[in-house]
Structure 1
Amino acid sequence: MSNALRLAKGTFGRVALLDMDRPLVRHAHPHCHVLLKVEGADAQFSVGRRMVPLTDESAVLINAWEPHAYAHFDGQPATIILALYIEPDWLGAFRPNWKASGAPDFFTEAVGATTPAIRRLTRSLAEAMVHDPGDAPRHERLLAELMIAVVERFTDWRGTPYSLRLAAASFVDHRVRKAARMIEADPCRVGDMNRLAGDVGLSRAHFFRLFEASLKVSPRVYLNVVRMERAVQAVAEGTASFAAVSESLGFSAPAHFSRFFHDHAGSSPTAFRHVSALRGGDYETLR
């Protein structure tokens, strides 16, 4: 069963070391998202409408809010993946226009050939997370080196002023903006999309078309993104029972929440909380 081996969180966002042997449902993240292979079999992801490979020499590059899925096939061996979920403000501290990592076209391609430096930094960060799980400063230093190499390799960050890119990406119809605010305010209460469409003054069909045109994801995917980000925070940082977290996010039973979490994060909530709580001195080796 797929599970998290390690998790690092901070102002940079989060980094998960995942042992993957089952598919993930189509989902999205509010961060730029980089997937790097550490060990195991080559793998593949569906990004947008493309199937792209994750190998020793290729990275999968996913823009903020871009729908994607892990396409694991029956009988395929497991893969250890370093998954980066990076906050734009943190990247913007390196160069102001790197804050454009929150824009929908930061990565121009969904897959790119890695360099020896990227492969070395990927392995170094994965090993540091396993062998020294409590050394947060070292993790962030390695992540910074890795993301600088990734951005310089895979983006046209010199091409357009970040202010124009973000401005172009930020226009959202006021009715879609209202619906998004309602979802963010209380995802537990937003389950009926027909009602949500009516609440913002649109027919269901028009609402879905306008929402996806504005935010690049469907209302249901947006709701799931909000639920998942709340779930990650509650599981990783909190002490509430999973039953309480499940109820707060609108799931009818804890088992439904656990399946949702595993299908989106590649890990059970139990394993995710465990690796979030690890401190230095708890060692194991990459298999």
Structure 2
Amino acid sequence: MTTVPTDGDKPVWILQGSFGRATVNFISRPLVAHAHSQYQFLFKLGGSDCPFRIGAQDCTLSAERAICLNPWVEHAKGGSDDQPSLILSLVIEAPWLRARLQLGENGTANIFPEPLVVVTPDVHHHVERLAAAITNHLVAQDDGCMSILEDLITALGRDFADPALTAGITPSGRPVDFRIHKALSFIKHTSLANPTVAEVAAQVGLSRSRFFEQFRRCMGVSPQHYIDWVRMSHAIQLLGTSDKPLSDIAAELGFEEHSHFTRFFSQHMGVPPSEFRRRSVRLNVHAG
């Protein structure tokens, strides 16, 4: 499995392996109608909602609704009029998906009856885990990333596939206990203050070492990597929706120095925040 961060037309991370391809990218331009032999799943991580044309059906990819496509379903992406979108795209090889969902090699390819689905809490949980892993180079190159992807595919099969085909699917393998749920909520509500792992652990009544162990077991990524992902989400939102000076954004995100924010952002996105904002504006101009 390999991960490829690029800094060409837009920031993009590509995780590749025998399963297919998982991509996190920032995009607003339209994509022409096309179809392929793999299954595809699309999730919006941030930015603007995305219009899609799936066969003869108009759909909108949003935080609440994801897209599930069977092989050879024609689809096209429209342009985003207000701001680009941060999207997680999974293009999964049919044999790998069928094996993961414990389906035979033969049988219908139309496993997912609806192209537009409401994102369930469990699917959302695994989407966040995978996005955090892919955009962190150290985690994305770790074998643990594969188990996160497997958990997500299992959840997709259980929640969105035809029940007649997938009735035997068991729940995905990482239960999240109430203390980790509490930690996730605390991180999301205090991420601008840049909480330390020790502070989050104290909030949920665990030692730092025990909290790290529990968090990694439940989430598949370390607490610090998850904190960084939430802070990056805030940074992307601020850069894409405001004209605040970068120094103000750095201060709002809890960085003591502008240079610290620039280094942090560049390490995660592959480009500095000034370049990211410039490209975002250029994408807006050419959107639609």
Query: Bigger relative contact order, structure 1 or 2, given CA contacts below 8 A and separation 6+?
Result: 1
Deviation at 1:158, TM superposition (A): 3.1
Question: Between Structure 1 and Structure 2, how many residues are aligned?
Answer: 165
Q: Helix, strand or coil: the match of 2:31?
A: coil
* Residue type of the alignment partner of 1:115: T
1:51 lines up with 2:58 in the alignment: yes
For the aligned residue pairs, the C-alpha RMSD in angstroms reads: 2.6
* Residue type of the alignment partner of 2:124: R
Instruction: Give me the whole-angstrom Cα distance separating, in 2, the residues matched to 1:41 and 1:98.
Output: 38
Instruction: Give me the whole-angstrom Cα distance separating, in 2, the residues matched to 1:61 and 1:23.
Output: 19
Deviation at 1:61, TM superposition (A): 1.1
Segments ≥4 residues shifted beyond 6 Å: none
1:32 lines up with 2:39 in the alignment: yes
Q: Which residue of 2 aligns with 1:84?
A: 90
Q: Which residue of 2 aligns with 1:171?
A: none
Deviation at 1:76, TM superposition (A): 2.5
Q: Which residue of 2 aligns with 1:156?
A: 162
* Residue type of the alignment partner of 2:154: I
Instruction: Judge conservation of contact 1:130–1:283 (CA < 8 Å) in 2.
Output: no
Deviation string for 1:81-108 (max 9, x for gaps)? 10001112222333431757x9442211
Change (3 A) 1:109 1:38: same
Q: Helix, strand or coil: the match of 2:122?
A: helix
Instruction: Judge conservation of contact 2:101–2:166 (CA < 8 Å) in 1.
Output: no
Instruction: Judge conservation of contact 2:157–2:166 (CA < 8 Å) in 1.
Output: no
Q: Which residue of 2 aligns with 1:117?
A: 122
Deviation string for 1:103-125 (max 9, x for gaps)? 44221111000111211211211
Q: Helix, strand or coil: the match of 1:105?
A: coil
Deviation at 1:2, TM superposition (A): 6.0
Deviation at 1:72, TM superposition (A): 1.4
Instruction: Give me the whole-angstrom Cα distance separating, in 1, the residues matched to 2:101 and 2:161.
Output: 13
Deviation at 1:10, TM superposition (A): 0.6
Q: Helix, strand or coil: the match of 1:283?
A: helix
Q: Helix, strand or coil: the match of 2:110?
A: coil
* Residue type of the alignment partner of 2:125: R
Instruction: Judge conservation of contact 2:44–2:61 (CA < 8 Å) in 1.
Output: yes
Which TM-score applies when normalising by structure 2? 0.52
Deviation at 1:138, TM superposition (A): 2.3
Q: Helix, strand or coil: the match of 1:148?
A: helix
Picking from 1, 5, 15, the partner of 2:12 is: 5
- Stretches of structure 2 that go unaligned for 5 or more consecutive residues are 1-7, 168-265, 274-288
* Residue type of the alignment partner of 2:113: T
Write the mapping of 1:67-78 to structure 2, written as runs, cut at 5 A. Answer: 67-73=74-80, 75-78=81-84
Change (3 A) 1:98 1:14: farther
Q: Which residue of 1 aligns with 2:267?
A: 283
Which TM-score applies when normalising by structure 1? 0.52
Deviation string for 1:221-261 (max 9, x for gaps)? xxxxxxxxxxxxxxxxxxxxxxxxxxxxxxxxxxxxxxxxx
Deviation string for 1:155-177 (max 9, x for gaps)? 1153489xxxxxxxxxxxxxxxx
Instruction: Give me the whole-angstrom Cα distance separating, in 1, the residues matched to 2:99 and 2:93.
Output: 11
Deviation string for 1:9-49 (max 9, x for gaps)? 11111111121111000011210110011111111211011
Change (3 A) 1:70 1:50: same
Change (3 A) 1:109 1:95: closer
